[in-house]
Chain A
Amino acid sequence: DQQVKQNSPSLSVQEGRISILNCDYTNSMFDYFLWYKKYPAEGPTFLISISSIKDKNEDGRFTVFLNKSAKHLSLHIVPSQPGDSAVYFCAASRGSYKLTFGKGTLLTVNP
């Protein structure tokens, strides 16, 4: 039972445009959500997070939006850069440290 779903295995965008990565979850008890970025042969690195009491969190080019009623969150990258090309994982937790990950979305930013 996949509690965190990233339905798009891949996404390709042009440099300078917006990248929108989507994530859906089924467990309404999740109260904290995170996005990680992963390059090949490296571990995931933390990007940005959001608490369930908020609907938006912004950090530079990265913004995460949370729609609790739809159990949906998205990561916006503006403007996209070739160095953003990586696999992006959505993760969620419920009151503690344990993270449940999605399968990831491979983002390719074309110059």
Chain B
Amino acid sequence: GAVVSQHPSWVICKSGTSVKIECRSLDFQATTMFWYRQFPKQSLMLMATSNEGSKATYEQGVEKDKFLINHASLTLSTLTVTSAHPEDSSFYICSASPQAAGVRNEQFFGPGTRLTVL
């Protein structure tokens, strides 16, 4: 149980294009989903938190107009990197929690998406 999937697992795109990454909770309803970014040899950095049906909460320094997050259902959240540039190349990982944000809980992580912007 508690499986989270991500699609695609890796993507290569040209600079200036937009890329959409999907995060799905396969066997539970995720009230809250989180998006992280990990650069090589760095820690996972929380980008934003999204609750189903409401706007995402972005961490300081993360451009909400560049990283669009949609959490339209209890099993799906999407991250769209708009007008991607080479510095956006990174490993993007989502996690999902079956409880409402603000309540201590365990997060279940997806396998991650490797984005390379040429």
Q: Is the CB of A103 within 8 A of B104?
A: no
Chain A residue nearest to B45 in the complex (CB):
A101
Chain A residue nearest to B95 in the complex (CB):
A43
A-B contact pairs, 13 of them (CB 8 A): A4-B43, A36-B109, A43-B93, A43-B109, A43-B111, A43-B112, A46-B106, A95-B104, A96-B103, A96-B104, A97-B97, A97-B102, A97-B103
Partner among A32, A99, A103 whose Cβ is within 8 Å of the Cβ of B107: A99
Apart from A44-B93, A96-B103, A98-B49, 10 more pairs, CB < 8 Å: A9-B41, A36-B109, A46-B107, A97-B32, A97-B101, A97-B107, A99-B44, A100-B46, A103-B43, A104-B43
Q: Which of A63-111 contact B (CB under 8 A)?
A: 89, 93, 95-104
Number of residues of chain B lying within 8 A (CB) of chain A: 27
Residue of B43, B105, B107 most packed against chain A (CB within 10 A) = B43
Q: Could you count the A-B residue pairs with CB atoms below 8 Å apart for me: how many are there?
A: 57
Partner among B95, B104, B109 whose Cβ is within 8 Å of the Cβ of A32: B104
Contact with A along B43-78 (1 / 0, CB 8 A): 111100100000000000000000000000000000
Nearest CB in chain A: distance from B111 CB, A: 5
Chain A residue nearest to B5 in the complex (CB):
A43
Residues of B near A101 (CB, < 8 A) are 43-45
Nearest CB in chain B: distance from A72 CB, A: 17
Number of residues of chain A lying within 8 A (CB) of chain B: 23
Known: A89-B44, A98-B46. A42 touches B111 (CB 8 A): yes
CA–CA, A104 and B46, complex, Å: 15
Nearest CB in chain A: distance from B82 CB, A: 24
Nearest CB in chain A: distance from B106 CB, A: 6
